[in-house]
Chain A
Amino acid sequence: MMDKFGIVDASNLDPNFKYAISNQLGGENIKRCFQCGTCVASCPIWEIDERFNPRKIIRMALLGMREEVLSSDFIWLCSKCYACYERCPQDVKITELMGAIASIAEREGKEGNVVIKSKKPIFDKAFTNSIRKYGRNFEMKTIINGVLATKGIKGLLSYTSDGFTILKKGKLGLRPEKVKEMSQIEGIFKALEEK
Chain B
Amino acid sequence: MNFAYYPGCYLHASAREYDMSTMAVCKVLGIGLSELEDWNCCGALEASNPLTLSLSARNLVIAKKEGLDVLVPCSICFNNLSRANSAIREGGIAKTVINEAIGESYQGEVEVRHLLDVIVNDIGLEKLSKEVKVPLKGLKSVPYYGCLTIRPSKVSKFDDPDTPRSLDDMIKALGADCLPFKHKKDCCGGNLLMSSEEFSLKMTGDILSEAKELGADCVTVACPLCHAMLDYQQSKIESKYDIAIDLPILYFTQLIGLALGLGEKELGLDKNFVSTIKLRRE
Contact = CB atoms under 8 A, between A and B. Distances in A.
Interface stretch (A32-40, A60-68, A164-172): A164-172
Contacts, number: 154
B146 to A, nearest CB: 8
B192 A83 contact: no
B126 interface: no
A31 B10 CA distance: 37
Could you say which interface size class chain A belongs to?
A: 35 or more
A26 interface: yes
Nearest to A142: B46
A176 to B, nearest CB: 10
A83 B282 CA distance: 41
Contacts of A185: 40, 55, 58
Contacts of A181: 38
B13 A171 contact: yes
A146 B14 contact: no
A146 B194 CA distance: 9
Given A85-B151, A124-B47, A180-B38, A77 B192 contact: yes
- Grouping DSSP codes into helix (H, G, I), strand (E, B) and loop, the A interface class, with mixed when no group exceeds half, is helix
22 contacts: A48-B202, A73-B195, A77-B192, A78-B191, A82-B152, A83-B187, A103-B49, A120-B195, A122-B194, A124-B47, A127-B44, A128-B51, A136-B12, A136-B41, A137-B9, A139-B13, A146-B194, A150-B194, A169-B271, A171-B15, A184-B103, A189-B51
Given A24-B49, A77-B192, A100-B49, 14 more contacts: A25-B93, A25-B94, A77-B196, A83-B151, A131-B55, A135-B40, A137-B41, A140-B13, A169-B270, A172-B14, A184-B103, A188-B51, A191-B100, A192-B54
Interface of A: 24-26, 28, 44-45, 48-49, 73, 76-83, 85-86, 95-96, 99-100, 102-103, 106, 118-120, 122-124, 127-128, 130-131, 135-137, 139-140, 146, 150, 162, 165-166, 169-173, 177, 179-181, 184-185, 187-189, 191-192, 195
